[in-house]
Amino acid sequence: MIVPDYNNYVGNGIINHNSGKSVSVAASYLIDCLTIPNFRALNTSVTAKQAEIPFEMVMPWIEGNDKLQHLIADIALRPYPTIKFLNGSVWVFRTAGKDGRFIRGLEFDRINYDEAGLDYTGETIKILRGRLRGVRPDGSQRMARMDVITSPTDAQWLKERFDKGDPTSDKFDPDHFYSLRATTYENTRLDPEQIKAMEAEYTDEMIDVEMRAKFPEYGMSFFPKSHLQACVDQSLNDAAYEAMHPEKGAPKRGYVVEEHPRYGITKFELPFDPRKSYISVGDPGTDSPPHRNSGVVMVFDISQKPIRNVYFHWVDGRGSYNPFLNSYKYAMEKYRPILKGMDTTGTQKAIDELAFENMGLSIDGLNFSQDKARMLNSLSLDVSNHNICWPVIKGLVKQMNNYCDEVELKKLPQDIVMTIAQASFLARYINNPETTEERETFVPSHSNYRQAFKARTSGRRR
């Protein structure tokens, strides 16, 4: 993406994953750092991995390149990737943190806010804008340019910002904003057959969002989008980031974040706290993210409201249930959950026996065919009352936004949604085991779960 450079410029890019946005950012920012002395650049995002993608792209261009390498003064990886140039320029790659907490007090010439659509509050962009100020050591004014690049989401502030740079909008402000929409179809490096394969996986609405870079309209969504946004807790991501990337000392143990450059976080875990109570839930699967029938394992801290997601694993099954079962066993051993819910209906109806025989797991099977509606109703209440929260996980947020119980949308991935629904369902019963109204509304009619709960309480007495 090539756009003009001038003060107070803001570039708003609604760009799909397959359109080459990371390459454009890496090349453009590298040229600025090389050609403008004492230039300060920041590539940031909601998650650390996303913020570091241009760094991973530019490193092969530098290493072993006799036309570039001699212009680099230093490259640091800790506490976050930083490239220092011989002309005094600095390029930083790090997450902004909730409301820009990690970059307050710093000054930059140019900032790229990648995957900004995952920030639903819009507060971080204000802090970032305030970092584009000041003068360089030679007295020249900093560029003060903000680039906002993302796949489209339903974040209201993002749509309003895009409209200011859109000539077709009545809010068009060409003096300060420029908006660009790049689609999958404009990437000449993609084979037409690859594009057709992508289209085959999506509904018409998803093609508009994922491939045509149009803003989504979740009018049919089961969960109100404003309440879903309130359940996203970026402080969970920040806690993991600070623990894994400390300014001083070694990283803390018990934190894990694994992220795919295209579909986001696939594994997230916080340390076990013996003072907390946990439940584990899982939806078995053999496929790989982001496809339907990918296994999902989650653990929630239910010690207080809102209940918090402390372990998330979107499992790469590679055609086998074993990766899912290994993850579930690991989560059980780490968090020692009170209850261990798992979908054991449909094609997974024998998974409880497989888990017990092959992995030595004892699980509490849930009957989706009988209790799916109760689970979804429980989750809907928790979302509407903001009694549940999770980190910024792209696949999770997307499935929750897209979820609809309509027959024609059944092919959409929804494994994460149903896993969270299990957690909401179990947590509601545990927290209200003696409440008649809750029991009549949320406790399943089959006996397995009642026996599981009785076994839990009698085990405590023992």
The CATH code of the domain that includes 163 is 3.40.50.300
Instruction: Identify whether residues 69 and 190 lie together within a single domain.
Output: yes
The first and second tokens of residue 207, run together, are 């093609």
In angstroms, rounded to a whole number, what is the distance separating the alpha carbons of residues 132 and 129?
A: 6
User: How much of the chain, in percent, has pLDDT values that exceed 90?
Assistant: 49
pLDDT of residue 382: 94
- Banded pLDDT at 5 (limits 50, 70, 90): very low
Kindly state the average pLDDT of the residues 381-408: 85
| Domain CATH code at residue 251 | 3.30.420.240
8 A C-beta contact, residue 289 and residue 72: no
Q: Which residues pair with 20 in a beta bridge?
A: none
What mean pLDDT is predicted for residues 401-412? Answer: 64
Whether 230 and 177 share a structural domain? no
Look at residue 216 and tell me if it is in a domain: no
Write 61-67 long-range contacts (CB < 8 A, 24+). Answer: 61/26, 61/30
Mean pLDDT of 104-124: 90
Q: What is the model's pLDDT at position 354?
A: 66
Q: Which amino acid is at 425?
A: F
Per-residue pLDDT, 314: 97
pLDDT in tens, 440-451: 333 333 334 444
Q: Is the pTM of this model over 0.75?
A: yes
CA distance 21 to 78: 25
Q: What pLDDT is stored for residue 434 in this prediction?
A: 46
Judged by DSSP in three states, 450 sits in helix
Distance between CA atoms of residues 348 and 354, nearest Å: 10
> pLDDT tens, 126-157?
999 999 999 999 999 999 999 998 888 888 89
**What pLDDT is recorded for position 272?**
97
Q: What is the mean pLDDT of the chain?
A: 83
Q: What is the pLDDT of residue 449?
A: 42
Q: For strands 339-343 and 364-366, give the pairing.
A: parallel
Domain stops at, among 158, 186, 210: 210
User: Which of 155, 185, 210 is the endpoint of a domain?
Assistant: 210
Q: Is 169 domain-assigned?
A: yes
Terminus-to-terminus CA distance in the chain, angstroms?
66
In a shared domain, residues 28 and 150: yes
**Does 210 or 294 have the greater pLDDT score?**
294
Instruction: Tell me how crowded residue 354 is: count the other CB atoms within 10 A of its CB.
Output: 16
Same domain, 236 and 173: no
Is 194 among the domain residues?
Answer: yes
Residue-wise pLDDT tens digits, 64-88: 899 999 999 999 998 899 999 999 9
Residue 5: inside a domain: no
Q: Are residues 205 and 297 in the same domain?
A: no
Examine residue 1 and state whether it is found in any structural domain, yes or no.
no
Is residue 8's pLDDT more than 60?
Answer: no
Q: 314 and 238, same structural domain?
A: yes
Question: Which token pair is 364?
Answer: 């509490």
Confidence category of residue 401, pLDDT binned at 50, 70, 90: confident
pLDDT single digits (tens) 316-339: 998 888 899 899 999 999 999 998
Domain co-membership, 165 together with 250: no
Residue 107 pLDDT > 50: yes
Pairing of strands 82-85, 72-76: antiparallel
Quick one: what percent of the chain has pLDDT higher than 70?
81
The verdict on 270 and 316 lying in the same domain is yes
Same-domain pairing of 183 and 309: no
Residues 379 and 256 in one domain: yes
pLDDT classification of 373: cutoffs 50, 70, 90 = confident
Would residue 218 count as lying in a domain? Answer: no
Element (DSSP H or E) covering residue 147: strand 145-150
Above 80 in pLDDT, residue 14?
no
**Which two tokens mark 212?**
């045509």
Q: Which of 156, 180, 210 is the last residue of a domain?
A: 210
Residue 215 lies in a domain: no
Which has the higher per-residue pLDDT, 247 or 37?
Answer: 37
| Residues 257-289 pLDDT 10s | 999 877 889 999 999 999 999 999 999 889 999
Query: 3-class DSSP state for residue 341?
Result: strand
Per-residue tokens: 454:
């009785």
* 61 vs 4, higher pLDDT: 61
How far apart, in whole angstroms, are the C-alpha atoms of residue 436 and residue 432?
Answer: 9
Regarding whether 369 and 291 lie in a shared domain, the answer is yes
Structure tokens at 12: 């708003």
Same domain, 183 and 240: no
Residue 2 falls within a domain, yes or no? Answer: no
How many domains, in total, are found in the chain?
2
pLDDT at 221: 67
Segment 190-219 mean pLDDT: 81
Residue range of the domain that includes 182: 10-210
